[in-house]
Structure 1
Amino acid sequence: MAEVLTDNTGASVTVELVAADPISSYILNLADGSSAGRADFVDSPGADAERIFFHTEVDQEFGGRGLAGILVRAALADSVRNNLTVVPVCPLFARHLRTHGDEFGANGGVFRRPAPADIDLVVRATQSGS
């Protein structure tokens, strides 16, 4: 996935999935190919197809361009395409889904509130990645 999108300034950006174990990321790239932000997640193990988003950041120098929203929306759209339940541990994802959850659901998205086991999984993944 490297869909070309447009930010608030009219500049082209792309969001690509970089899969890794245990932490994967959606990376937001500027037209020149440089990275401007990322949304990190872990996929739940086992039969449940759940994606736990736990950290999102966009470089401050790019503030006001709507890049965080582009990143969140692209990650959520990809989760819908892959029939994944979203678990928003990251405050940015949680806030977006509080505001736009009905729209996300109408587009086929599913999300649920984080549980202690989700936090434990994130902690284990971030510690093993250190």
Structure 2
Amino acid sequence: MTQPAPTPTVHRVDARHRYEIVVDGQTAGLTAYRDRDGQRVFYHTEINDAFAGRGLASLLVQQALTDARDSGKRIVPVCPYVAKFLKKHDEFADMSDPVTPEVLQWLQTMQTQ
């Protein structure tokens, strides 16, 4: 008899400014963000190679965006994966703000802190 595949879970880790997706007790990937006023600026998403090809990035970003919405945040998709996800998922279009030079400059200062 085969074991069912472990269910991935997504957790927001505020101290590290990211959401992590955990599979069977192991961190499989993350999407990183910084909060700016009423916005959550997503700037990087990655899935560890050992977990690739399972649709985890999509699940991670979908749950992160849902949490941002539930937290009253608008989102800024600096991360190319998040931007691509938004083009395919209209349900988040109402909460997305454009990536502007101002946001990019602010993000660069935040990443050096």
TM-score of the aligned structures, taking structure 2 as reference length: 0.90
Instruction: Report the Cα distance in structure 2 between the residues aligned to 1:10 and 1:93, rounded to whole angstroms.
Output: 26
2:6: which partner in 1?
Answer: 11
For structure 1, the residue ranges without an aligned partner over 5 or more in a row are 1-8
2:91 counterpart letter in structure 1: E
Q: Kindly state the Cα deviation for residue 55 of structure 1 after the two structures are TM-superposed.
A: 0.4
List 4+ stretches of structure 1 deviating above 3 A.
Answer: none
Equivalent of residue 55 in structure 2, options 66, 73, 77: 66
2:104: which partner in 1?
Answer: 119
Greater share of helix: 2
1:95: which partner in 2?
Answer: 84
Equivalent of residue 29 in structure 1, options 6, 17, 22: 22
2:26 counterpart letter in structure 1: S
Instruction: Report the Cα distance in structure 2 between the residues aligned to 1:10 and 1:82, rounded to whole angstroms.
Output: 30
Note the alpha carbon deviations across 1:16-37, whole angstroms, 9 max, x for none: 01112xx500011112x11110
Instruction: Report the Cα distance in structure 2 between the residues aligned to 1:116 and 1:50, rounded to whole angstroms.
Output: 15
1:110 counterpart letter in structure 2: M
RMSD between aligned alpha carbons?
A: 1.5
Instruction: Report the Cα distance in structure 2 between the residues aligned to 1:30 and 1:99, rounded to whole angstroms.
Output: 25
Note the alpha carbon deviations across 1:57-95, whole angstroms, 9 max, x for none: 000121111000011001001011111100000000000
For structure 2, the residue ranges without an aligned partner over 5 or more in a row are none
Instruction: Report the Cα distance in structure 2 between the residues aligned to 1:10 and 1:121, rounded to whole angstroms.
Output: 41
Q: Secondary structure at the match of 1:114?
A: coil
Instruction: Report the Cα distance in structure 2 between the residues aligned to 1:10 and 1:68, rounded to whole angstroms.
Output: 17
2:33: which partner in 1?
Answer: 41
**Identity percentage of aligned residues:** 35
Q: Secondary structure at the match of 1:12?
A: coil
Instruction: Report the Cα distance in structure 1 between the residues aligned to 2:48 and 2:18, rounded to whole angstroms.
Output: 15
Between the two proteins, the alignment pairs up a number of residues equal to 110
